[in-house]
Amino acid sequence: MPLASVNAIKSGKARQHGAMEFSAAPVDLDTVRRYRLQRLRTKMAEFDVAGLLLFNQINTRYAVDATNMQIWCSHYETRCVFVSLEGPVVLFDYSNHPYLAEDIPTIDEYRVLPAFYFFGAGNRGGEFVKEFAAQITDLMNQHGGGNKRLAVDSLSHTGCDALRARGLMLVEGEQITETARAVKSKEELILMQASMDVCQAGIRSMHDALQPGITENALWAKLHETNIRLGGEWIETRLLSSGPRTNPWFRECSMRTIEKGDMLSFDTDLIGPYGYCSDISRAWICGDSATDEQRRLYGKAFEQIEHNISVLKAGMSFREVSEKCWPIPDEFLSHRYSSLIHGVGLADEYPNIKHLNDYEAKGYDGLLEEGMVLCVESFIGTEEGREGVKLEEQVLITKTGVERQSSYPFEIDML
């Protein structure tokens, strides 16, 4: 693994501006912030909205890169960002702590949010939400040029009703944020690689600790510890399982003791340094040798991953991708992974490309674009089988094809 990124993070003296920031950041973070804000405003113009109101903490991170207690704030409507198309960006915080947004150039104004969620307001929420709606409406009136269209990503009916009562027309906001976030700048890609370096260091820590007798939870803790120690932030899931718990997929890790000869599969879903997600999966055998069935399952999963990466190129429609991807043999169809390929950035992101078998019922179309980062998924397990194999690789769509962001080795000796 390239040690430069990890060493820079380890040696950098942390300097908090709300966002995780290091003196040794590999790029100018203000350049990243301005790019991301401009992406949002470009999409706002496409959808003809004068304002964008963001409560989803991933979206507020993308818009201004000011974070504090990000997971806690995701439980409540307690921190949000208002972006005007041709006016200020306002951070509404849950309390008066302006130093959390200090020196961030994409924030024009800091305000305290009139708390209207039940935990904060109790039976006075209906009173306080009127003040919140009045402030948002005033911003729209001052800077919207008469346009009353406000895009909102996630807000309770209490907040939506109060905004509509003020004459605003609410528009779906996720279509703006998801499509904006889909194309990464060159600086973002460098930060994503720094996150991947930390992720792969954590995987190495897990591999070093894997031996019969360790619990799934104890093994998973190695990834968490490495991520936090090297400047990462959190992990979105606990998707690690062993032996008969690997099939079907999506069981999170437990106190089960991993036994010699068990198949082990995991999915990192790791939010690393600078808030970027590294989402890859690997499968190992606990012990020295695999059974013929374990080798067969692993070989099919590897074949699916490699084939599907090979077909990707800019300009393809999502349906075309689905049609050209590896045809899943009938014995694995019932336990196939729920998504064929998905985007990734600050979290799992647009697009979500479905298997051809699911396309008519669940799929939607669009185009692969240069600068998208995608995760190519595979789960291989039979309906009656004891174990399954989960593999996933993260790749960048380039002008000429793809580049892999993940480099942690597959188990070639199992093929």
Is the N-terminal amide bond of 248 cis, ω within 30° of 0?
yes
Specify burial of residue 334 (Cβ count, 10 A radius: 0-12, 13-18, 19+): exposed
Query: In sequence order, what E strands does 236-346 have?
Result: 240-242, 263-267, 270-271, 277-278, 281-285, 341-344
At 372 the pLDDT is 98
Nearest one of 49, 55, 99 to 81, comparing CA atoms: 55
- The 8-class DSSP code of residue 375 comes to E
Half-sphere exposure of 163 toward its Cβ, with a 13 Å CA cutoff? 26
Torsion of CA 189, 191, 196, 197, to 10 degrees: 120
Q: Helix, strand, or coil here: 48?
A: coil
At 387 the pLDDT is 98
Enter the tokens of residue 340: 């064929």
- Whole-angstrom Cα distance, residue 98 to residue 306? 48
Tell me the helices (H) and strands (E) count for the chain, helix number first. 14, 17
Nearest one of 380, 397, 301, 303 to 342, comparing CA atoms: 397
- The 8-class DSSP code of residue 372 comes to B
* Whole-number Cα distances in Å, 136 to 101, 108, 125, 148, 161: 20, 15, 16, 11, 13
User: pTM of the prediction?
Assistant: 0.92
At 11 the pLDDT is 35
At 23 the pLDDT is 52
Is the N-terminal amide bond of 212 cis, ω within 30° of 0?
no
**CA-only gyration radius of the chain, Å:** 23
- Segment-wise mean pLDDT, segments of 10 residues, the chain, 415 residues: 38 37 79 98 98 97 93 91 97 93 94 92 92 98 97 96 98 98 98 98 98 98 98 97 98 98 98 98 95 98 98 97 97 96 98 96 97 98 97 97 96 93
CATH numbers and ranges of domains, the chain: 3-181 (3.40.350.10), 186-414 (3.90.230.10)
Specify burial of residue 188 (Cβ count, 10 A radius: 0-12, 13-18, 19+): buried
Beta bridge partners of 374: 343, 395
| 318, 352 Cβ separation under 8 angstroms | no
Count of other CB atoms within 10 angstroms of residue 116? 23
> Strands 109-112 and 348-353, how do they pair?
unpaired
